[in-house]
Each structure stands twice: as C-alpha cells, then as structure tokens.
Structure 1
Amino acid sequence: MDSILVNENPIVYPKKRRRVRTDRSNTDEDIKDPEHTDLTLEDLRVITEESVEVDDAKSYVRVVITPTLPHCHVPHLIGLCIYAKLLKSLPARFKVNVRVAPGSHATEAAVNKQLGDKERIVAALESPFFVSLFN
C-alpha cells in the first residue's frame, strides 16, 4: 500500500503443519495481507484452520477472520479476498459465509453487514480494482 502502515510491526506466527493435500487441492493457498504484502493471512493469524468450517453435505463454508487490530482499516477487503478465493476454488454448489470474529473489531457489525450483502460482494468481484487486487 502507498499509505502509512496502520500496524507497522504485526505479530508473525509460525505456520502450522498442514494436513496432506489431495490432488484436487488448489496449490495457490495463501492470501497475502493487503497491508503487509510479504505476509499471509495465516502468518498474522487473521485466519486459521480452526476458523474455517466446511460442511460438504450441506455445501457450506464459513470463515471467521480476526483482524490484527481492533481498528484495522481493511477487514472488509480481507473478507472479499477470502470470498473471491473460495468462489474460485470451490464447486458452485457451496454457500460461502465470511465474518469478523465476535469482539475482534471496533466496527464488527458494519463489516459483517458488508460481507453479508451478496449484491455488494458480486459488484466488488466485478470491479476492475478488486479483480486486479485478487489476481
């Protein structure tokens, strides 16, 4: 980003040992933090394996993100990136739900409202700015 960093020195956590991936798995698994492009959301524990719920039988995926700061200015952008990645990676039958963890952000309700607005999500995913960001 061109602006001043909000979280100049984030805590970087060690990556957990991963489960064995199947041949159907998408090998491009990391989403970079919008503010710290050399770090992934996993490095910062914005998203963890435990924060992802997948119900194959019900075709449902729920992801709970935890911003690094209570006043993080990009949780909606992070949520959109996750949403876009899942839509690209999962079969069309899956319903995706991305939310901010309870109590983790000052504007949690507003961010969750944005991430729950499917028309806004679709519009963002068609925006040239967001498409270039996702890619």
Structure 2
Amino acid sequence: MSAGAQLENANPVIFQRSGERLLTATDEDEDVHDPIDDREIFDILFVNDSESTVGIEFTPTIPHCSMATLIGLSIKIDVSITPGTHASEDAVNKQLADKERVAAALENSSLLEVVNQCLTTRSA
C-alpha cells in the first residue's frame, strides 16, 4: 500500500467463531421454536473472497426432502447499509428493500453494465 493510501475500513468489527454448536434435545424437537442466533449464522455463511460472493447452505430434513426447493426459495436475505455510515442511508436502504425499484434501476443499460462488471468473477 502506498504511503498516501487509506484503508477503506480502518477499524472493522471482527467476530470470532467460538467452536462448534452443541445440539440439545430441544434443537431436534419440531414443536419447539429454535431462534437463529449469531453462532448459527456463522455456521451457514460461506464467503468466497476470490469470487466476491457470500453463499448460504441449508440442510434439508431428509435426503429426499420434497420441500428442498421451496425451502431454498423461501430463504429471505435483506441487504442494508450499516446505520450511520452513509449520507443517504434511508434512501439507499429503501431502494435495496424494494425489489421492483431494483429491477427498474437495472433497466438502465449503463447501470446494468456496471453491476455486471461487479458480479463478474475476477481472473487470477
């Protein structure tokens, strides 16, 4: 890094994974609500830095689960700006949350080209 270059995020918040999750009897009981916590998120997220992607894996209840596709399609991911980090935070978050506005924005060929460049896998 050159002497005049600044880090984009000089003070990142770093979370450390603290071992495997222990299963309890209630974890496998379908009648007991099992809330998602921070540790469970670390268990299902997969970051691929070389391709600039984040993936999520889920485990179907049985190997031949007929609902696997429906479950995958029902996983909802919300993307938003960290509170207090952008001058137009509310406007950007509103657009990111409105899938019709996102689709409309991508009808702009110049914007679509830039997005496609961001999504293209970098060559080594």
Q: TM-score range by the shorter chain?
A: 0.3 to 0.5
- Higher gyration radius (CA): 2
Structure in which a larger fraction of residues adopt strand: 1
More helix by share: 2
Structure with greater contact order relative to length (CA < 8 Å, sep ≥ 6): 1
